[in-house]
């Protein structure tokens, strides 16, 4: 980050605005929402700025800026239309260690003004770091439309009740669980509907009946094939509620970053011949964390119930009566196929699709080859990179034609996606030339021929 996102309490620290035109006017409107005294220095002043000065009793010095103008100020805004003047103001501000914003010159700014969504005391700030103010304002407009105006009243209610809730629920986990239930439930809806008195009464009743111990829960979340935009709304909501995030090797780091900042992150990834935590230990970890009253997000690449061993984890939770939720994710087969332009079924090519795993056991892959080689179907093979040569050889040995189309997709839906197109006869060689890395997915069937017509995302050209 070029700028650290923080909110500053100005209090009674004087703010200096140098300039009296339209830009200065916009900054003054923001400053006037605070309690800080404001000093304006400008040779010429627009009627709008003059009106604000008169209406709010601001200090106004209608002359050129002087070095002594910064004395007693805690913040400076240089809003003149002269670069040399702004640069001189910047040097003086630095000399006195006073934070300064030079409008439209990010390189000279100690701080910048974000685009704000004001639901005081709730404020949402959006910034592009000065790269594109128009984009930041566009995003602010999107948030404005989504965020009801009465969220400010909801924040005020939470502020009033903060001390009583803390006294009633001294345990931090129990307190957080209480607030999550309140702010996402019918009491919050009452505030948003304008029934604040009813909401406050209901909140007090809920507090009086609250238990001292928090109830833990596990969320088994499918993180999809990689692209964070493919998460479901429910997956994102539960991930941001979690106290603990347990994640696998296949989960995109950008998805993990969507979790709460204070959430504990535990890597339980599994790579070939390298298991950070064996499955029984992962099961026990989920149990222990939930029993301690925590909300646990178990992130698994793709869909947790498709080669994700999610069923085993759920069985262990059910045996002990631990609450859980399952959030399906887009499985790798769907993500890889869609982003590589290879439909898994097609009226002219395949009327069925089969998912299998291609991992080696004792250097062998034990699959029903006779069934897999049947025509007019698509076969998708997970975890088959290491055994690719053996897979292609077995297909051919059991009757599949050597020129049957086949593809392998690396890290689909991400910026590292690569697609290699070939046949059963040459795909292993092409894969070696492309130096692909796991995770990959193999797709075999005539639907692969559609890649050249339908691909829209692939970052690597198909190989003949």
224 CB neighbour count, 10 Å cutoff: 29
Question: Which residue is catalytic, options 104, 173, 181, 270?
Answer: 270
- What span, in angstroms and rounded, lies between the C-alpha atoms of 383 and 356? 9
Size of the chain, expressed as the number of residues it contains: 464
Contact 380, 355 (CB under 8 A): yes
Contact 362, 395 (CB under 8 A): no
4 CB neighbour count, 10 Å cutoff: 6
Question: Which residue is catalytic, options 248, 295, 300, 303?
Answer: 248
Decide the pairing of beta strands 100-102 and 378-382. Answer: unpaired
- What span, in angstroms and rounded, lies between the C-alpha atoms of 48 and 46? 5
- What span, in angstroms and rounded, lies between the C-alpha atoms of 80 and 85? 7
Is 104 considered catalytic here? no
Tokens (6 digits) for 226: 């990689």
Is 248 considered catalytic here? yes
Local structure of 17: helix, strand or coil? strand
Cis peptide bond prior to 153, omega within 30° of 0: no
Q: Which residues of 134-166 are buried (b: 16+ CB within 10 A; e: fewer)?
A: eebeebbeeeeeeeeebbbbbbbbbeebeeebe
Residues sharing a CB contact under 8 Å with residue 192, sequence separation 6 or more, in sequence order: 148, 150, 151, 154
Closest by Cα among 228, 189, 256 to 335: 228
Look-up: residue for tokens 């699709």? Answer: 353
Closest by Cα among 281, 280, 285 to 246: 285
Q: How many CA atoms lie within 13 A of 191 on its CB side?
A: 22
- Catalytic residue numbers, as ranges: 248, 270
């Amino acid at each position: 980050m070029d700028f650290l996102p923080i909110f500053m309490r100005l209090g009674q620290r004087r703010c200096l605005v140098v300039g009296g035109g339209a830009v200065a006017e916009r900054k003054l409107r923001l400053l006037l929402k605070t309690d800080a005294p404001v000093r304006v220095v400008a040779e010429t002043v627009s009627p709008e700025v003059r009106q604000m000065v008169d209406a709010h009793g601001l200090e106004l010095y209608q002359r050129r800026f002087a070095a002594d103008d910064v004395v007693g100020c805690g913040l400076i805004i240089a809003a003149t239309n002269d670069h040399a003047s702004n640069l001189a103001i910047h040097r003086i501000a630095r000399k006195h260690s006073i934070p300064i914003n030079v409008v439209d010159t990010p390189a000279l700014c100690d701080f910048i003004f974000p685009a704000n969504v004001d639901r005081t005391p709730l404020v949402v700030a959006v910034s592009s770091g000065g790269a594109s103010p128009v984009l930041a304002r566009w995003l602010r407009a999107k948030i404005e439309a989504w965020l009801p105006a009465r969220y400010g009243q909801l924040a005020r209610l939470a502020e009033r009740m903060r001390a009583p809730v803390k006294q009633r629920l001294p345990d931090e986990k129990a307190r957080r669980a209480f607030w999550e239930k309140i702010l996402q439930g019918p009491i919050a809806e009452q505030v948003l509907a304008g029934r604040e008195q009813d909401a406050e009464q209901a909140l007090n009743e809920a507090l009086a009946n609250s238990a001292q111990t928090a109830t833990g829960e596990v969320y088994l979340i499918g993180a999809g094939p990689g692209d964070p935009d493919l998460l479901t709304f429910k997956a994102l909501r539960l991930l941001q509620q979690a106290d603990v995030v347990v994640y696998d090797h296949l989960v995109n780091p950008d998805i993990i970053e969507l979790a709460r900042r204070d959430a504990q992150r535990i890597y339980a990834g599994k790579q070939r011949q390298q298991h950070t935590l064996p499955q029984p230990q992962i099961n026990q970890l989920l149990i222990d964390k939930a029993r301690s009253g925590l909300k646990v997000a178990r992130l698994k690449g793709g869909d947790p119930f498709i080669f994700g061993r999610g069923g085993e984890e759920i069985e262990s939770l059910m045996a002990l009566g631990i609450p859980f939720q399952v959030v399906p994710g887009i499985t790798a087969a769907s993500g890889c196929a869609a982003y590589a332009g290879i439909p898994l079924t097609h009226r002219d090519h395949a009327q069925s699709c089969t998912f299998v795993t291609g991992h080696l056991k004792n250097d062998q892959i034990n699959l029903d080859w006779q069934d897999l080689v049947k025509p007019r179907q698509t076969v998708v093979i997970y975890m088959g990179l290491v055994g690719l040569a053996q897979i292609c050889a077995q297909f051919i040995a059991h009757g599949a034609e050597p020129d049957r189309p086949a593809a392998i997709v690396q890290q689909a839906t991400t910026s590292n996606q690569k697609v290699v197109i070939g046949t059963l006869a040459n795909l292993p060689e092409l894969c070696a030339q492309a130096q692909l890395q796991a995770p990959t997915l193999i797709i075999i069937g005539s639907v692969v021929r559609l890649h050249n017509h339908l691909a829209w995302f692939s970052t690597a050209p198909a190989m003949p």
